Amino acid sequence: MDSITHIAIGTCIGEAFFEKGFGKKAMIWGALAQSIPDIDFIASFWMDTAEDLLAHRGFTHSILFALLIVPVFALTAEKIHRPHNISFKRWILFFAAEVFLHLFLDGFNNYGIGWLVPFSNQRFSFNMLYVADLFFSIWPAIALLLLIVLHRFHRWRSVIWKTGLLLPALYLLYCSYNKYQIDKEVNKQFAKQQIPHERYFTTPAPLNNWLWYVVAGNDSGYYVGFRSVFDKTEMMKFTFFPRNDSLLKPVEDHEDVQLLRRFSQEFYTVEKRNDTLLMNDLRFGQRFGWQNPQGGFVFYYYLQHPEENDLIVQRGRFSGWNKNELLNYMKRIGGL
């Protein structure tokens, strides 16, 4: 989830817990608490790219971190705002709601989140929501602006924070339904087309929840395709990408290769581009893959030139977009 959405949701929760009794200070605490797990961005200042990929949404997004940071926030707020009539239990519940909701919401994206770090390296992802979805974020953002502008005794404040939290919750239910329908249809296609796979995932294509990106396969390679909830044709077209593990043999003992394999959850392919060896993480999609099945993947890592990997998760995702490409994208969302 993007930072602005976390801040907006945090302020709505602050208003929900304290409303008129604590003024707008609760909104500030809510924004801070919702943002604290993302403090892991500082790791990029000293870690190399491969390490930083796993540090992000790692320990600071774990249950252990939440259990440690919640009482720290509660003790700090309780001390700063003395004298007050707010119980310590209420402080704990407030900050727990903020931090744990951040961890829960980040699990809806496809990046993966380490809820069990440091006890397990397993990453969790519901793959239900694109990291930036206007239809999810617009309501808490509007609520945030209104709560800032209106005075703290305004009669509409209660309606505003409820709307800022309820509508995104309803949208998540709608996304869950879309996910269920897409998975059901995709599995029918796997069986009908006899597509071999040991693992698969479906996740929304950029900025929407109607067109879904599908990847399925095993250690030999992956089948990639797209499915819209509005598709009328039953048949899906898949493009096969060999995994090419043999290309990794000269570098398979390198630490960055091991970290990238773990980060990708085995959804990767390897390719030669000119004289450079690339490792693709398939989870983040293709550039214009819905109209160009052979399109390159958004995430690729230069194994032989690691110094060129400053930005890799969204590398070139929106380069080449123009009015025609946007219209084609909207047409594909509308179904075949």
The pair of three-digit structure tokens given for residue 253, joined into one six-digit string: 């003992």
Asked whether residue 158 falls in the same domain as residue 20, the answer is yes
Asked whether residue 163 falls in the same domain as residue 127, the answer is yes
**In a domain? residue 182:** no
Asked whether residue 21 falls in the same domain as residue 98, the answer is yes
**In a domain? residue 70:** yes
pLDDT digit string, tens, across residues 67-108? 999 999 999 999 999 888 889 999 999 999 999 999 999 999
Q: Which of 117, 142, 174 is the last residue of a domain?
A: 174
**In a domain? residue 323:** yes
Domain housing 122? 3-174
pLDDT of amino acid 317:
67
pLDDT band at 308 (very low <50, low <70, confident <90, very high): low
Of the candidates 17, 40, 188, 24, the residue with the CA atom closest to the CA atom of residue 97: 17
Asked whether residue 12 falls in the same domain as residue 160, the answer is yes
Asked whether residue 153 falls in the same domain as residue 213, the answer is no
**In a domain? residue 181:** no
**In a domain? residue 107:** yes
What angle in degrees, to the nearest 10, is found between the helix axes of 3-18 and 88-106?
A: 150
Asked whether residue 245 falls in the same domain as residue 309, the answer is yes
Exposure string for 231-262, b = 16+ CB within 10 A, e = fewer: beeeebebeebebbeebbeeeeeeebbebbbe
Length of the chain: 336
For residue 119, count CB atoms less than 10 angstroms from its CB and return exposed for 0-12, middle for 13-18, buried for 19 or more: exposed
pLDDT band at 314 (very low <50, low <70, confident <90, very high): low
Asked whether residue 199 falls in the same domain as residue 304, the answer is yes
Task: Classify the phi-psi angles of 196: left when phi > 0, otherwise alpha if psi is within -120 to 50, otherwise beta.
Answer: beta
Split into its structural domains, the chain has a count of 2
pLDDT of amino acid 251:
85
**In a domain? residue 187:** no
Asked whether residue 95 falls in the same domain as residue 200, the answer is no
Rounded to two decimals, the pTM is 0.92
Asked whether residue 163 falls in the same domain as residue 232, the answer is no
Q: CA 189 to CA 214: how far, in whole Å?
A: 11
Average pLDDT over residues 261-273: 93
pLDDT of amino acid 179:
98
Average pLDDT over residues 318-335: 89
Position with higher pLDDT, 252 vs 126: 126
Asked whether residue 214 falls in the same domain as residue 327, the answer is yes
**In a domain? residue 234:** yes
**In a domain? residue 28:** yes
pLDDT of amino acid 21:
64
Asked whether residue 162 falls in the same domain as residue 26, the answer is yes
Asked whether residue 163 falls in the same domain as residue 25, the answer is yes
